[in-house]
Copies of this chain bind each other. A is one copy, B any other.
């Protein structure tokens, strides 16, 4: 059925070894044989079986990308960029959406481990120990999480939060809510940590509500709690949650930013399209994916090196969802 290297060898009148050599390094073979082989390859439409190649070389040419939720445009953008970069470097991508379930994450990583040369783990929900266990077998790069011995790509959330809270403070806000994302999310802890620190510095009261799922529904479900907390502004774990807040506020005729200001996180396309347009802390989503792949490939070629931990900047984008604090 499928055409193999032997078919090519037979048609070209050479051995399989020579076909292999021609493909790997055309210079290592006489011009005559090379032509024969190339002709046969064209005629049969031969494409090497990468799985079989992986068996002998130990390199599969595959990367695994694991993420919590593809329906979140943030992850979609990251994985799109990762995929594109991987293809450019001649790698194929295994995709696993774990639906926010750490157990699924563990299972999938184990099942896929032998089929990939490395993993890109986006916002992994597993424990540090579990991650260390995986890393024993396969190189991994963490996105949106920074722990001990792993290469990682993260965002300077503390600085983003500083920009956001400074912005709110300048507008007169003194009591601000943070809608927390998943408890198992490192980003969530990091954002909260940065926020607490700068809130202390600026003398802003910080009210923490949540945790909620990092989705629109999560935002909708917590909106009334936010309103009940008598704040004049709210920072959401991410844009989706912020959009949920906006939606519920609108339904309850709470004016944004008249009654309450709202800030998101991520800078997904959508945030610019709603109205009021969402003020948000934007990150370079494609760069996260692209740099993640680059880092992973470096880690694969040189596993011994000290892990690189890239921290990308966050940038507050002021739009229409923030305004002066309502006098209390």
Interface residues, chain A, with chain B CB atoms under 8 Å away: 1-2, 47-52, 54-55, 60, 62, 65, 69-71, 73, 76-77, 79-80, 83-84, 87, 92-97, 99, 104, 108, 110-115, 137, 216, 243, 246-247, 250, 269-270, 272-275
Task: Kindly list the 6 A-B residue pairs having the minimum CB-CB distance in the complex, ordered from nearest.
Answer: A95-B95, A51-B51, A70-B80, A49-B114, A76-B76, A275-B275
**How many chain copies does the complex carry?**
2
Would A47 and B99 be within 8 Å (CB), given that A71-B77, A275-B275 are in contact?
no
- A13 → chain B, closest Cβ, in Å? 24
CB pair B50–A2 under 8 Å, yes or no, is no
| A113–B47 touching, CB < 8 Å | yes
A-B contacts, 21 listed (Cβ < 8 Å): A47-B111, A49-B115, A50-B114, A50-B115, A51-B52, A51-B55, A51-B60, A69-B80, A70-B77, A71-B76, A79-B95, A83-B95, A83-B97, A84-B97, A92-B111, A92-B115, A93-B95, A93-B96, A243-B273, A274-B274, A275-B275
Q: Which residue of B lies closest to A114 (CB)?
A: B49
CB distance from A32 to the nearest CB of B (A): 27
The residue that A51 contacts in the complex, of B54, B243, B269, B273, with Cβ under 8 A, is B54
The secondary structure that dominates the A interface is helix
Minimum C-beta distance from A322 to chain B (A)? 17
Task: Write out the residue numbers on chain B whose beta carbons fall within 8 Å of the beta carbon of A110.
Answer: 47
Q: Provide the residues of chain B in CB contact with A114, threshold 8 Å.
A: 2, 47-52
Given contacts A51-B115, A216-B269, A247-B273, 4 further A-B contacts (CB under 8 A): A2-B114, A2-B137, A70-B83, A250-B275
